[in-house]
Structures are given as structure tokens and as C-alpha cells.
Amino acid sequence: MRVGLVMAGCGAPDPVSPALLSEAARAVGAGPDVALSARSGGRGAGPTVPEALMLLRRAKVDRVVVASTHLVAGEVHSRCALDAARASALFPELLLAPPLLSGERDVRAVAAALGEALPPRPGRALLLAGHAGAAASLAHLSLEHALWAAGRTDARVGDPRSLAQTPLPEGVHEVLLAPLSMGLGVHARRDFLGGLRSDLESRGLAVEAREACLLDLPTVRELLLAHVREARPLPGARPSGPAAGGSVPAGSGRMGPAPAIPGSASAASGPARFPLFVDLAGAPCLVVGCGTVGGRRARALLAHGARANVVDPRGCGPEGARRLARAYEPGDEEGMRLVVASTDDRGVNELVARRCRDAGIMVCVADAPAEGSFAFPAFCETDRLVAGVVSRTGEHSLVAAAAAVAREGIGWAEGAWEALA
């Protein structure tokens, strides 16, 4: 099996340094000729992520690992995930690596590395300046909390605008300023070390700027490579483009059309879906047809407390479900709270949908969502939060990419809430 690597970054002139790209290629077993640096932002040289994926397809690569040098699952990393999902039909196997800060353990490891590299000094505060944005702000909160928990109450983490105004501990007259970024490009030098430094000096503070990035720290570098080795398939991704022998239309450089903005003139038409979270504890539910989709639906219903009944001639179904080893019979839906029609027979699914609609029973139709009265979402859950993602137009790979980002986002939100509680 031939393995290829696409590693995305925002550096210049190279999006990813040749040394890091070489290390990441060795980590996943990719040859140097199929280990590509791609730009996910900025003005550096090199191909975009979709362009790099097309180059690997032409090189007849079997397995592709898409990784990035991004700190969090923010907007830029999300674009990489979406591009990877859209290219899933081009390769037998396509994997996506998580960003650097993908969980509490990552945050603690980075905080420890920063604390060791930037030791405290009486009368001096440590300011770590990163990008603005919702995902970045949650990461900043978590990282600052981890630093404080390790005794570094002199540390402040945020974007340049917030740090320029942040109150500092009493008796602090000096600042050690360092960029919280994976590279030290023009943006980091100008905004993190230049503009912010001027703002702090205007407050009468003596500022020492440390021109180093996170990837200069061996612990952080190894953590990033560990994430590259841990790359996994996008959850629930399905082919969204042409088969491996087909062609991709030219255009903007992306694998397929860009996602529409809901409510805009260019938004794709589709049924309006109201997000409704229902208590199914003890509720009788029916799954007609237990293939890959039906089995997944039945397991989800069981996980949320429903009494799942599965009708399939093969008698299959997840443990805990009531299995009926026969074909669907009209009337099976009677008394059910909701029904999933997921057979490989279009006529059966249509019959189930029609009977459920006539009886006022909520029904989801796997092969024709418009015939159903509800859509089964991709679940994004933590201990305290639950979210669901559906597509207006049946774009499964888009749902998979969005759900992967949403899982990261609500995980960060819960962690930040716990840190501030």
C-alpha cells in the first residue's frame, strides 16, 4: 500500500517547513515524493489542500493522511477537514489528523512545555498572544487555566486586542511576550510581537519579545507528530465526488462546490429542518432494514434509551434490540414513536414512509430523506452537551466534516466552562 501525506500550514515561503514535513512523512510511512506541503492560509508558495490531494491521486496513492500545523479546530482547520471529506471518493483510504490542542491532555502538555521554556521571574508577567476567533478563545481559556493550575498565575493567554487591555498582577512592570502560534510568520511578527508590544509599552511596561514559535519546543513538536500518527477516517464520511477513475471539474480548486450560506441567495434548496431534541427513554421505535445505516440508527436509538425493534429477514440487529427475522409487514409501525426505513428496496422504504406519514408517525427514510418527516443527525455529544448535524441537501461528507468540527467545538466549550466554573 502506497501512503501519501498532505500537511497544511500557513507558513511562508513554505507552508510547512521541509524538516517537519520529513518527520511527519516518516511517522506515517510516506515516501518523500508523496509527502506534500499545502497552504491552508496566508500567501505562501505551494498547492492548496485540494490541489495537493489531486497530485496524490495522480500519483496513485492508496492511503492519504491529511494533517495540519493548526493549533485548534478553528476556521482554517475546518476548511482542511471539509476539503478532505470532499476528496474521500478519490482514495481507498483517507485519514484526518486532529489539530495540536484536541483535548485536556494536549493542553496540559503544551502548558508544561511553555512553563519550562518561559520560566517565571518576580515582577514579570508572561503574555502568550494567539489568533482571535471562537475556537481559539476557548483554547486560550483552557491553556491559561492549565498554566495557573501549574502555579503560573503570572501567565495571560489571549489575542493581541484582549492582551493589550488585560489587567496584570500587582507589582508587575515587565512583560515577557511570546507568540502562541505554530509558526513565526509575518502575521506573528507584525501583530503578536510588533503591534502588541507597542500597545504594552504605551502602558509603561518594559517588554521582552521572544521570537520563537510552539514548534520550536521539542515536546510540542512530538505531540503534533503523535497526532499525525493517530489520524483517523472522518466519522461517517461517504464518497462525495467522482469515483477513483473519474474526473474532478476545474474551478475554484476545491473538491466540489463550496457550502452554501443558509438564508443566502445561493443556498441550496432543501426542506427546512427544525432541530428538535426528543426524550426517547422507553419509547418504542422501529428500524426496517438493518444494513450498515440501519444498524447504526438502531444502536443510536438504544444509546438514547429507546426500545429498538429491528425488522430484517436476516434476523440481524445490535445487542439489546428486539429482532424480527422477517420482511417488513404493513402494520409493523403501529404504536411506534418513530420509524427508520433503511432497507435496500426502494419500494419498501416508500411504503413504510407513506404509512407512517398517514398515521402521523415520525419517519426517517435513508435513501430518500425528502420522503421522511425527520432527519437522523450525526451526533456530537459530551457529558453535558448534545448537538446534531444534518444536511439540507443530503451531502453526507459535508455532515461528517461539520460534525467532526462540532465535536471539537463543544468539547472545548465544556472544558472552558468547567475551567471558569
CA-based R_g, the chain, Å: 25
List, in sequence order, every residue forming a beta bridge with 415; answer none if it has no partner. none
- Separation of alpha carbons 28 and 225, rounded Å: 9
pLDDT per residue as tens digits for the range 181-193: 887 766 667 767 7
Average pLDDT, integer, range 403-408 = 75
**Residue 13: is the preceding peptide bond cis (ω within 30°)?**
yes
Average pLDDT, integer, range 271-287 = 88
Question: What pLDDT, on the 0 to 100 scale, is given for residue 95?
Answer: 93
- Residue 12's pLDDT band (cuts 50, 70, 90): low
What lies within 8 Å, CB to CB, of 251 at 6+ separation is: none
What region does 29 belong to: left with phi over 0, alpha with psi -120 to 50, or beta?
left
pTM for the model stands at 0.60
Average pLDDT, integer, range 287-291 = 95
- Residue 115's pLDDT band (cuts 50, 70, 90): very high
Residue 178: which H helix or E strand, with range? strand 174-179
Tell the residue number behind the cell numbers 486586542, with chain if given: 161
Task: Report the percent of the chain where pLDDT is more than 70.
Answer: 84
In the sheet where 322-324 sits, what is the strand order? 322-324, 307-311, 284-288, 338-341, 362-365
Q: Which three cell numbers stand for residue 306?
A: 429507546
Question: What pLDDT, on the 0 to 100 scale, is given for residue 96?
Answer: 93
Q: What one-character DSSP code corresponds to residue 227?
A: H
Least confident stretch, 143-152, 189-198, 242-251: 242-251
Q: What are phi and psi of 67, to 5 degrees?
A: -130, 170
Q: What one-character DSSP code corresponds to residue 310?
A: E
- Residue 32's pLDDT band (cuts 50, 70, 90): very high
Cα Dmax for the chain: 80
Residue 236 has pLDDT above 60, yes or no: no
Average pLDDT, integer, range 224-243 = 69
Average pLDDT, integer, range 284-290 = 96
Q: Give the chain's domains with CATH numbers.
A: 3-97 (3.40.50.1400), 104-216 (3.40.50.1400), 284-374 (3.40.50.720)
pLDDT per residue as tens digits for the range 294-329: 999 999 999 999 999 999 999 999 999 999 999 999
Mean per-residue pLDDT of the chain: 84
- Separation of alpha carbons 259 and 109, rounded Å: 35
Tell the residue number behind the cell numbers 511596561, with chain if given: 205
Question: What pLDDT, on the 0 to 100 scale, is given for residue 259?
Answer: 37
Question: What pLDDT, on the 0 to 100 scale, is given for residue 415?
Answer: 65
Class of residue 371 by CB neighbours under 10 A (exposed 0-12, middle 13-18, buried 19+): middle
Residue 122 has pLDDT above 90, yes or no: yes
- Separation of alpha carbons 107 and 89, rounded Å: 34
Least confident stretch, 26-30, 85-89, 296-300: 85-89
Task: Report the percent of the chain where pLDDT is more than 90.
Answer: 52
| The residue count for the chain | 421
Question: What pLDDT, on the 0 to 100 scale, is given for residue 235?
Answer: 57
Q: Which three cell numbers stand for residue 386?
A: 448534545
- Separation of alpha carbons 41 and 11, rounded Å: 8
Question: What pLDDT, on the 0 to 100 scale, is given for residue 263?
Answer: 37
Question: What pLDDT, on the 0 to 100 scale, is given for residue 243?
Answer: 33
List, in sequence order, every residue forming a beta bridge with 68; answer none if it has no partner. 8
- Separation of alpha carbons 122 and 144, rounded Å: 19
- Which amino acid type is present at position 118? L
- Separation of alpha carbons 9 and 77, rounded Å: 9
Instruction: Confirm if 92 and 63 have CB atoms less than 8 A apart.
Output: yes
Closest among 131, 99, 354, 87 to 241, alpha carbons compared: 87
Question: What pLDDT, on the 0 to 100 scale, is given for residue 271?
Answer: 59
- Separation of alpha carbons 95 and 353, rounded Å: 36
